[in-house]
Amino acid sequence: MELSAGYHDALESTAVAAIGTDLVDELREALSEAISTNGTNAQLYDSVCALVERMRALEWTPEKCIIVLKQILRDQSILPGHQFPSIHVGRADRATAVYERAVLICIQAYFRDRPAL
């Protein structure tokens, strides 16, 4: 089931308020830089990890962290590869690489240093 754009906008504005605009702005800057470097820069890693650290401190579930990250990515027009029918292929490939890397970093950062059950 697809959620409405209004739901996503409300979720992001609430999330940004809780997380803080400083970290979200840093992530947006890192995403722009990562597109130009094909998603391999340390700034992206550090920004996603800082965002996840803040969300973990708020005791958010891993699912909520991923949803918020994906919303930020979507707002920067960084989407999964299958959603790029009309965008220049080179940019789409870079954006897809950044999307996948950011989500992977998010998951790894969330579960890093967590005790095993």
Q: Determine the pLDDT at residue 79.
A: 78
Per DSSP, the three-state class of 38 is coil
Give domain status of residue 117, yes or no: no
Tell me the two tokens of residue 18.
């809780």
27-48: pLDDT as tens digits: 999 998 888 876 567 899 999 9
- The total domain count for the chain is 1
What distance in Å separates the CA atoms of residue 94 and residue 98, rounded to the nearest whole number? 6
Residue 5 has pLDDT above 60, yes or no: no
What distance in Å separates the CA atoms of residue 33 and residue 39, rounded to the nearest whole number? 8
40-93: pLDDT as tens digits: 678 999 999 999 999 999 999 999 999 999 999 998 888 776 554 444 555 667
Domain span at residue 52 reads 5-111
Give the pLDDT band of residue 9 (cuts 50, 70, 90). Answer: low
Give domain status of residue 116, yes or no: no
Give domain status of residue 30, yes or no: yes
**Exposure string (b/e) for 11-33, b if CB count within 10 Å is 16 or more?**
ebeebbeebeeebbebbbebbee
Cα torsion through 62, 67, 32, 43, rounded to 10: -10
In the DSSP assignment, the letter for residue 82 is: G
Instruction: Identify the residue with better confidence: 89 or 26.
Output: 26
For residue 80, is it left (φ>0), alpha (ψ between -120 and 50) or beta? beta
Instruction: Identify the residue with better confidence: 47 or 11.
Output: 47
Give domain status of residue 61, yes or no: yes
What distance in Å separates the CA atoms of residue 13 and residue 107, rounded to the nearest whole number? 22
Residue 18 has pLDDT above 90, yes or no: no
In this prediction the pTM is: 0.76
Give domain status of residue 86, yes or no: yes
What distance in Å separates the CA atoms of residue 26 and residue 2, rounded to the nearest whole number? 29
